A and B are shown apart, each in its own frame.
Chain A
């Protein structure tokens, strides 16, 4: 069977691989040249799509909304136009009520070249995601790009109904380089790849429940996870659901010793031999969680 790395695909290749063949209809495609007006002032090349593709298509025969951030353009950073495309796409989902809304997130967060507009833009995306959920339409974020999902987009991801990650994906808030630059290499050595992955990578997020599904870095695996999400019910945000989330997060904080590392947390989650986790394949990590259940 052919294996195609999701991480190595472009945004539109990911969309095409996820959806039923030739079913993607893109809104404001590159031909429309809806571009950032701010980058030229800074002498930075702009992109015809401002680094994001939005539209709809079919998944297993059902109409779905899908968007993908292009990590190859400014690390998927959210600028004014990029953010507005996502916000308009989510507002349209409220009107057209697709079966599910799929966001293939790959982003370092706010695009610093248009920082203020990007920050407000991410906050508009966040509110629009919660509007879509409040309307009972499930939002699923799929993360598998080389740039990971950080900053404001890391927050947006956790505002969705479900999160899917590959084992090579990363999800967090601040990049290790930013933390190292601010608080020193002894706080976070950004060149220690094993440390970076066990702090922010897919396996860690799956073991802690920060992502709902862990898949191989393979477009077919992501498609299967998206199809599975079609069958899953929306998870309404209610006072009860937020109390449950709060109890989980407060318990996690209380249980973590001050010098906690990933191995401590995994052991606390019932993983008998946490030092083996980095070497386990996806199926074996899933089995750890299934055994626990």
Chain B
């Protein structure tokens, strides 16, 4: 779904969210209260500038509107693959964005991520994956890498990877796999407003993703291994 249609559906046509260079920013009224909306669109590559634009919006919200909930709208092709961004410390800028969202959470802002189109690796880890909870639309795509590229890197034939993907969520792209592994809390089917309302009300404040992954059968070992380290 494109972001305008999504915003219209969630907040009505006078939502006031604006796009500038693939950066989405706005404040809407939702369930009778202000909600900050920050995001990216057009499969944005996240470079230093876009990471900082999002971080600025989070910091301004924490400063000016303590406790105001934040919705992260996610559509990214991953981190910007440019020498200039590496030179300028893209990993530091992305860590900064993650730290800003984390601070907002700790200061009592509910932060909900929604993958409405596409999410990949580096662009995802410092947005939806560091929110209180991340959700996705059923038609969205989440992945680290496409299977052909993965076949090249791992030197495993693509056909074999495709065959394994059928019942192993660990490496194949797909929002369903991320739900099974606990990385995505749920898919928003049907009434999107009700789904957002529920997400803002019920998102956990601690990291429960490894338990969800175990309960859903998509990531059977993570929670048990972490527990074993605590008990060793």
Contact = CB atoms under 8 A, between A and B. Distances in A.
Contact of A157 (B91, B100, B209): B91
B103 A237 contact: yes
A228 interface: no
B222 A155 contact: no
B84 interface: yes
Contact of A237 (B79, B102, B171, B182): B102
A246 B59 contact: yes
Interface in A276-291: none
A152 B154 contact: no
A128 B98 CA distance: 12
Contacts of A10: none
Contacts of B81: 174, 178-179, 182-183, 187
A76 interface: no
Contacts of B90: 172-174
A155 B95 contact: yes
Contacts of B62: 239
B182 A88 contact: no
Interface string A17-51: 00000000001100000100110011110000000
A252 B89 CA distance: 10
Given A28-B232, A83-B222, A126-B125, A112 B86 contact: no
Interface residues of A, number: 82
A92 B229 contact: yes
A81 B225 contact: yes
B222 A124 contact: yes
Among B81, B106, B142, B213, find the residue whose CB has the most chain A CB atoms closer than 10 A. Answer: B81
Interface in A139-190: 151-152, 154-159, 171-174, 176, 178-179, 182-183, 187-188
Contact of B52 (A84, A152, A155, A249): A249
A249 B170 contact: no
Contacts, number: 248
B34 to A, nearest CB: 19
Contacts of A42: 154, 156, 160, 164
B197 interface: no
B168 interface: yes
A126 B150 CA distance: 24
B225 A171 contact: no
B228 interface: yes
A83 B223 CA distance: 10
A173 B125 contact: no
Contacts of A91: 226, 229-230
B33 interface: no
Contacts of A128: 207
A172 B90 CA distance: 7
Contacts of A126: 98, 125, 130
For the complex of A and B, 10 pairs with smallest distance between CB atoms: A88-B229, A88-B226, A158-B95, A115-B144, A154-B91, A27-B232, A84-B225, A123-B129, A120-B183, A84-B222
Interface of A: 27-28, 34, 37-38, 41-44, 54, 80-81, 83-85, 87-89, 91-92, 95, 110, 112-124, 126-128, 130, 134, 151-152, 154-159, 171-174, 176, 178-179, 182-183, 187-188, 199-200, 204-205, 208, 210, 237-239, 242-243, 245-246, 249-250, 252-253, 256, 258, 260-262, 265
Given A134-B106, A200-B86, 6 more contacts: A38-B168, A88-B228, A92-B230, A115-B143, A120-B181, A120-B182
10 contacts: A42-B156, A123-B183, A127-B207, A155-B126, A159-B95, A187-B83, A208-B89, A239-B107, A242-B96, A242-B103
